[in-house]
């Protein structure tokens, strides 16, 4: 037996570690977006408790901005999948860089979608 199997096992362990740690960051973005949606629905419900008074005053009742909210929830898993695909077959450093860049893209797009909502 040669020592090649041990080095390959360490490389797989390092790759799995990078994927798991970065996956936790992406998962945190999903949880954060879901909690934001929950709080937004609660806020809209509280604001709309006086629908009749709003309509009499000529104002529109508040609505939940579903497209930005759902986009913020779906964006991290899609970006994670794309980053994993782009990093496939590359060195560990490049794979980690792809995952970090994907996380930065998620943060920027989530902030942009939230700002436009």
In tens, the pLDDT along 20-76 reads 999 999 999 999 999 999 998 998 888 778 777 777 777 777 788 889 999 999 999
Q: Which tens digit of pLDDT belongs to each residue from 72-90?
A: 999 999 999 999 999 999 9
What range does the domain containing 99 cover? 4-116
pTM: 0.82
Number of domains in the chain: 1
What DSSP assignment string belongs to 23-63?
A: HHHHHHHHHHHHHHHHHHHHHHHHHGGGHHHHHHTTPPPP-
- C-alpha–C-alpha distance, residues 113 and 80, integer Å: 18
């Amino acid at each position: 037996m040669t020592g090649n199997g041990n080095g390959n096992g360490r490389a797989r362990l390092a790759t799995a570690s990078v994927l798991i740690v970065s996956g936790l960051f992406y998962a945190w973005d999903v949880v954060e977006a879901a909690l934001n949606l929950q709080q937004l629905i609660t806020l809209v419900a509280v604001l709309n408790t006086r629908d009749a008074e709003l309509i009499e005053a000529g104002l529109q009742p508040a609505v939940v901005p579903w497209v930005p909210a759902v986009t913020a929830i779906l964006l991290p898993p899609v970006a994670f999948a794309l980053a994993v695909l782009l990093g496939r077959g590359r060195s560990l450093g490049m794979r980690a860089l792809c995952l970090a860049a994907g996380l930065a893209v998620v943060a920027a797009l989530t902030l942009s979608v939230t700002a436009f909502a």
